[in-house]
Structure 1
Amino acid sequence: MPAVTADTLTLPRLDAAVGRARTIKSVTRGPQAHEGEGFPVTRAFAGVSYQDLDPFIHMDQMGEVEYAPYEPRGTAWHPHRGFETFTYMIDGTFLHQDSHGGGGIIENGATQYMTAGAGVLHIETPPESLVMSGGIFHGLQLWINLPAAKKMIDPAYQGLNGDDVKLISSQDGGALIRVLAGEIGGFVGPGKSQTPMAIAHITLAPGASVSLPWNPMFNALAYTLAGAGTVGEEGPGTNTAKISTGALTVFGHGDRVVFTADETQDSRHNSLEIFLLGGLPIREPVVAYGPFVMNDKAGVIKAMEDYQYGRFGQIPDDAIQPFHHRH
């Protein structure tokens, strides 16, 4: 799981986090499914109430899968309205193109934001070279809600390289923290979203523990990408829970979040890998239907009509398409 890595002993250090450790509200596991043309995903937020997720809507872990030659799959052109997508590629390569002129390559620790806003058509697909060769493919796609006042803003695109990520370490150097978006302990990541939030990918060495300051106004969610450990802290008014690959932790209120890696990890990753996210709740009604996330049913019907009448823009003349090998 390369993403972006560094020697933690050479990085800036987080100050010791103060205040109350957040309690553990729930630990759940999402079901496996297939998306687009058939790539395997884990529906990370399945079964969790929107009140706990707000301002987030949906998250898929794409892979982790090792494809044989000709197996990689993507999505065909499809619409979105009313939210932003955040895509993080840990392993492998995705091509992105949209009807608003956005596009690029997302690979090896890179992130990408697409603000769908009033409406956009886009595609995400592995390049021909990856389809031909096969290989490891692993990433995350997160849907971030937009408040009613911003649902119909102009679409926008940000492509960020892995090198843009802000790298910091825990107080003792046992954890590498990649700040992908927002601010954690005074360190700011490159991603800029319409909804205030923070996102990080944390790698903890076996036996390491980290306590991160977390905006008390934000919710806090942690998805376990790999490894095993504990969330939370023992003490009066706090609790802990065990986590392992595929677990989503919902935290309660507090000032900081705590993770501890087990002393023994599986040999394939040899670390506890956490995708940590949280944002300012929007607290508005949500009606989601497929790729449309609106405030009411009328908004969804209007989105479907606008899409059918071509009001989301046009697929570009130079559009990339899913590569299918012809035997």
Structure 2
Amino acid sequence: MPAVTVDDILTLPRLAEPDAATTTDRAVKSLTTGPKGFEGEGFPVTRAFAGVELHELDPFIHMDQMGEVEYAPGEPKGTPWHPHRGFETVTYIIDGTFLHQDSHGGGGVITNGATQWMTAGSGLLHIEVPPEELVQSGGLFHGIQLWVNLPAAKKWSSPNYQSLEGEDVTLLTSPDGGALIRVIAGELGGHQGPGSTKSPITMLHLTIEPGAQVRLPWPEHFNGLVYGLSGAGTVGADQRPLASGQLAVTAPGDVLTIGGSTSPDARTTAFDVLVLGGQKIGEPVAWQGPFVMNTRAELLQAFGDYEAGKLGVIPPGAIGIS
């Protein structure tokens, strides 16, 4: 069960039901299954956006589902120090703990429903690793790392760091009480999440009970992405099946409908989904490795600046430096 939850969902504010007579449901344009892989020093990930064209994802670039995995003692792993420029990284830890540090002074513990929102902007170095006690003991680890592009005018912004604790997240429920809605960033039906974003986006984590359905009011000028974290459910008014590790890209409309399957999988009864939407930037994307720029020349400059030490230095006594 995700770390951020409530004992009585009916005590939460309820999302208003969109008017069916004046709204248009978003249909599913495509459905893809993310391949499995490894990141950093070898932790398992699902490449959530693999096989989807960038123009369908804009302003999002890349997303890994980290785990869900129950580590044995000695197994937890992270990433070594590495650079970024030109975008924002969003690390959302659903269950478990990560340590973060960057060369611009940001950092801290990300645990059990917390989110680390890092604006790489003009460039920095950072690291994310499990704490030593988790390495020794093992345990549950499940999270998301999302990359959000920056428009050309903001790619050279000064680096910034936001620590959003689990208790900061805005919690709502659907009109019938069948879904717990966590608003991490952006706005949903007049309810604002805590994350401050350079590109206009909305980021939600929903837990939907079997047979329940929620109709989310959704900006027509945003794209709409629904990713299955665990369990099984449906997307769209026509109830297209969506399973864990699958991404649905939706067509234009102003309502996004998501339901929990009446026949959940053997591991969990609820359907957990990540819902993303954002205003398209519509600019050229030049992306290689840890840098997301607009032109090939800017990419070469980023690699050159990194080699020259211009993206920052690892602080003395830093995490991961023995």
Q: TM-score range by the shorter chain?
A: over 0.9
Distance (Å, rounded) in 1 between the aligned partners of 2:294 and 2:18: 37
Aligned pair partner of 1:116 in 95, 120, 124: 120
Q: Are residue 308 (structure 1) and residue 312 (structure 2) matched? A: no
Corresponding residue of 1:264? 263
Distance (Å, rounded) in 2 between the aligned partners of 1:169 and 1:322: 44
Distance (Å, rounded) in 2 between the aligned partners of 1:141 and 1:260: 24
Distance (Å, rounded) in 2 between the aligned partners of 1:322 and 1:14: 47
Corresponding residue of 1:237? none
C-alpha contact 1:76 1:322 (8 A) present in aligned 2: no
Aligned pair partner of 1:171 in 170, 175, 185: 175
Judging changes above 3 Å, is the alpha-carbon distance between structure 1 residues 68 and 322 closer, same or farther for their aligned structure 2 residues?
Answer: farther
The one-letter code sitting in structure 2 at the alignment partner of 1:251 is: T
Corresponding residue of 1:5? 5
The worse-fitting range, judged by mean Cα deviation, of 265-274 and 154-163 is: 265-274
Root-mean-square deviation (CA, aligned residues, Å) is 1.0
The alignment's TM-score, normalised by the length of structure 1, stands at: 0.96
Corresponding residue of 1:320? 319
C-alpha contact 1:126 1:322 (8 A) present in aligned 2: no
Give CA deviations for 1:149-187 in whole Å, capped at 9, x if unaligned. Answer: 011110000001000000000000000000000000011
C-alpha contact 2:72 2:139 (8 A) present in aligned 1: yes
Corresponding residue of 2:58? 54
Distance (Å, rounded) in 2 between the aligned partners of 1:32 and 1:2: 21
C-alpha contact 1:181 1:197 (8 A) present in aligned 2: yes
Distance (Å, rounded) in 2 between the aligned partners of 1:17 and 1:252: 18
Corresponding residue of 2:39? 35
C-alpha contact 2:231 2:267 (8 A) present in aligned 1: no
1:215 Cα deviation (Å)?
Answer: 1.0
Matches of residues 71-86 of structure 1 in structure 2 within 5 Å? Answer: 71-86=75-90
Matches of residues 225-236 of structure 1 in structure 2 within 5 Å? Answer: 225-234=229-238
| Matched residue SS, 1:301 | helix
C-alpha contact 2:73 2:138 (8 A) present in aligned 1: yes
Distance (Å, rounded) in 1 between the aligned partners of 2:60 and 2:3: 23
1:267 Cα deviation (Å)?
Answer: 4.1
| Matched residue SS, 1:163 | helix
Q: Are residue 184 (structure 1) and residue 183 (structure 2) matched? A: no
1:322 Cα deviation (Å)?
Answer: 7.4
Distance (Å, rounded) in 2 between the aligned partners of 1:318 and 1:252: 49
Distance (Å, rounded) in 1 between the aligned partners of 2:267 and 2:228: 15
The one-letter code sitting in structure 2 at the alignment partner of 1:178 is: R
Distance (Å, rounded) in 2 between the aligned partners of 1:318 and 1:21: 53
C-alpha contact 1:289 1:300 (8 A) present in aligned 2: yes
Distance (Å, rounded) in 1 between the aligned partners of 2:215 and 2:30: 19
Distance (Å, rounded) in 2 between the aligned partners of 1:8 and 1:249: 27
1:266 Cα deviation (Å)?
Answer: 2.5
Distance (Å, rounded) in 2 between the aligned partners of 1:168 and 1:318: 42
Give CA deviations for 1:81-133 in whole Å, capped at 9, x if unaligned. Answer: 00000110011100000000000110100011000000010000000000000
Distance (Å, rounded) in 2 between the aligned partners of 1:188 and 1:271: 25
| Matched residue SS, 2:79 | coil
The alignment's TM-score, normalised by the length of structure 2, stands at: 0.97
Corresponding residue of 2:72? 68
Give CA deviations for 1:190-213 in whole Å, capped at 9, x if unaligned. Answer: 001100000000000111000000
1:318 Cα deviation (Å)?
Answer: 2.2
C-alpha contact 2:60 2:149 (8 A) present in aligned 1: yes
1:54 Cα deviation (Å)?
Answer: 0.1
User: What is the number of residues matched between the two proteins?
Assistant: 318
Give CA deviations for 1:60-99 in whole Å, capped at 9, x if unaligned. Answer: 0001111100000000000000000011001110000000
The one-letter code sitting in structure 1 at the alignment partner of 2:223 is: N
Distance (Å, rounded) in 1 between the aligned partners of 2:311 and 2:16: 46
Corresponding residue of 1:147? 151
Matches of residues 242-253 of structure 1 in structure 2 within 5 Å? Answer: 242-253=241-252
Distance (Å, rounded) in 1 between the aligned partners of 2:3 and 2:126: 24
Corresponding residue of 2:132? 128
> How many percent of aligned residue pairs carry the same amino acid?
60
| Matched residue SS, 1:76 | strand
Q: In structure 2, list runs of 5 or more residues that go unmatched.
A: none
Give CA deviations for 1:235-287 in whole Å, capped at 9, x if unaligned. Answer: xxxxx411111110001100010011111212432101110001000000001
Q: In structure 1, list runs of 5 or more residues that go unmatched.
A: 235-239
C-alpha contact 1:125 1:322 (8 A) present in aligned 2: no
Aligned pair partner of 1:222 in 226, 241, 260: 226
